Homo-oligomer: A and B are copies of this chain.
Amino acid sequence: MRIWFKTIDIITNTKTEIIDLTETVKKVVKESNIKNGIVNVFTKHTTTGLCINEHEEGLLKDIVNYLQEIVPEDREYYHHHFFYKDGRAAVNAWAHLRSILLGAFVTIPLSNGEIMLGSRQRIFFIELDGPLSRQLIIQVIGD
C-alpha cells in the first residue's frame, strides 16, 4: 500500500466559477502509479467547494444561479463586521455558507488504474469568492 499526493494550483477568473478537475485528477492518479484504492480531492480554502456532477454548460449556469439564490448576498451577516489583521473587512459570509453546502472534499474509488466515475460524472472545483489563487490536494492511497 502506497500514499501519494500532489498539490494543484488554480487561478480563478471570476467571482463564482466552476472548473472541471477530472482530467487533472486522472493525470495525478496516473503519475501515482497506484492502480487500486481511493482518491481524495481536498480544497484548502473556506470559500470554495468540490462536487461531482454532469458537465453540461447550461447545468453549470444553473448551479451558479442556485448557489447565489440559496445563500443570498444582500442581507446582514455578522461576519461582515469582522476585520482581518490587515484591515480588510470580511464581506463574504455567503461564500463561506455556499462552501459549507458543497463540502471541501470528494472521495472516489480507484480500480485498475481508473477512477470509478459514472459515464456522466465529472469532478468540479467551485470558486465562490474569486478571482483568487487557490490550492487543492489530490491524494491517492492504494496498491
Closest to A64 in B: B78
CB pair B97–A66 under 8 Å, yes or no, is yes
Copies in the complex: 3
- List chain B residues, Cβ under 8 A from A117: 44
Q: Are B111 and A5 in contact (CB under 8 A)?
A: yes
- In this assembly, does A25 line the interface, its C-beta being within 8 Å of a C-beta of chain B? no
Given A52-B46, A61-B78, A104-B52, the answer on whether A37 and B143 have CB atoms closer than 8 Å is no
Q: A8 interface residue, CB < 8 Å from B?
A: no
How large, as a class, is the contact surface on chain A?
35 or more
Q: Are B37 and A56 in contact (CB under 8 A)?
A: no
Residues of B within 8 A of A81 (CB): 58
Q: Write the chain B residue with the least CB distance to A43.
A: B118
Binary per-residue interface labels of chain A (83-98) against chain B in the complex, 1 for a CB within 8 Å, 0 otherwise: 0000000100100110
17 extra A-B contacts, CB within 8 A, seeds A5-B111, A38-B40, A66-B97: A1-B143, A38-B141, A42-B108, A42-B116, A46-B120, A46-B121, A51-B103, A51-B104, A53-B96, A56-B79, A58-B90, A59-B78, A59-B79, A63-B97, A103-B106, A109-B139, A141-B141
